[in-house]
Amino acid sequence: MYDDMEIITPYHTIERAKERGTNELEIKDVIETGFSISAKYGRNGKAKIYPYKKMRLKRYYEQKRVEVFYTIEENIIITVTVYVFYGKWEV
């Protein structure tokens, strides 16, 4: 569905993503291959669970869940924000 659409990730979204433990490549991957999640304010949401198996803030986590919220304007996807959660989920 999104194969022919350009994905624009504004600078502020990239900065928040880095702070939260993800990057622009994962954001694009979530939009293209993640599962849909509910979103507010007429936005779209997708999420994807990745293996993590690392320490973050002095705690070990098996996985991370990246959630991306975005809008679609004509044939352009514009990311609004990204959240990252750490833990373990059933896949």
Q: How many residues does the chain have?
A: 91
- Check pLDDT > 70 for residue 77: yes
Cα→Cα distances 25→5, 15, 18, 64, 66, Å: 15, 13, 11, 15, 12
pLDDT of amino acid 4? 77
- Check pLDDT > 70 for residue 2: no
pLDDT of amino acid 51? 95
- Check pLDDT > 70 for residue 3: no
Give per-residue pLDDT as tens, 16-69: 999 999 999 999 999 999 999 999 998 999 999 999 999 999 999 999 999 999
Q: Please, what's the largest Cα pairwise distance for the chain?
A: 43
Confidence of residue 86 (pLDDT cuts 50, 70, 90): very high
Give me the residue spans of the domains in the chain: 6-87
Measured distance CA(61)–CA(51) in Å, rounded: 9
